[in-house]
Amino acid sequence: MLAEKLNNTPVVPLVQADDPEVALKTVAALQAGGLDIIEVVLRTDAALSCLEAIAKEASGAIVGAGTVLSESQAKEAVKHGAKFIVSPGLNDDVVKFCQAHKLEVFPGVVTPSEVQRAWNLGLRTVKFFPAGLSGGAPMLKALSSVFRGMKFMPTGGVSTDNLKDFLAIPSVIACGGSWLTPAKEIEAGNFGAVTELASEAVKLAAEVRK
Ligand code: 3PG
């Protein structure tokens, strides 16, 4: 279901919010622009409440938790409605918890050894993070040529400028990022800007993934 949705719209916006109401407005704006798969990063005290509000109230959205660093955080995230888990790094406990609960998990990797460790843990999808600083699309192409069958979600430094470069790589399942939810616009209540960024990303993705 998640893979199928990502195939249609391979862009995952990050939501970092202090207030469930703002989180819901942000998600509504993203959905209005065509983005339904949302990653709420666990980087604020209210992140779990924001996650729960989206899981319960944002109809049509599929919400996951990002910046999950431990098994206990993964458990909490699931209790609050997370349908998938994203981590900046590769942690065996988080991966094994998700595998045991049949939850899609995207742990962060950069190096060939990390990709190989993920592969040996049985993973076939990982996050490539931080994508921009770790060699960008050329590095991802090099990794993909060796680890055939591994899918990647580049995140970290992805923007309108390089989205198409990443999405043009066949092993890329989706790109994630915070460029779609700029704090400045959200704080100013300018949710229209979020919808515009989402629509632009959907358009760019469609140009590459015809
Ligand atoms: C993440 O949690 O994946 C990163 O913060 C995303 O990086 P970005 O802010 O550069 O999109």
Question: What does the pLDDT read at residue 210?
Answer: 72
Binned at pLDDT 50, 70 and 90, residue 4 comes out as confident
Tell me if 155 CB under 6 Å of ligand 1.
yes
Our answer on whether the CB atom of 129 is closer than 6 Å to any ligand 1 atom is yes
pLDDT in tens, 27-39: 999 999 999 999 9
3-class secondary structure per residue, 38-103: EEEECCCCCHHHHHHHHHHHCCCCEEEEECCCCHHHHHHHHHCCCCEEECCCCCHHHHHHHHHCCC
Residue 5 has a pLDDT of: 86
CATH 3.20.20.70 is held by the domain 2-198: yes
What is this structure's pTM?
0.96
Determine the atom of ligand 1 nearest the C-alpha atom of 66: 2
Give residue 3's pLDDT. Answer: 81
Mean per-residue pLDDT over the chain, rounded: 97
The DSSP 8-state label assigned to residue 105 in this structure reads E
Is the ipTM higher than 0.85? The answer is yes
* C-alpha to C-alpha distance for 174 and 30, rounded to whole angstroms: 16
List beta partners, residue 127. Answer: 108, 153
Q: Report the pLDDT averaged over residues 163-181.
A: 98
Read off the pLDDT band of 1 (50, 70, 90). confident
Q: Would you call 39 a catalytic residue per the annotation? A: yes
Q: 128 has which bridge partners?
A: 109, 154
Structural domain spans, the chain: 2-198
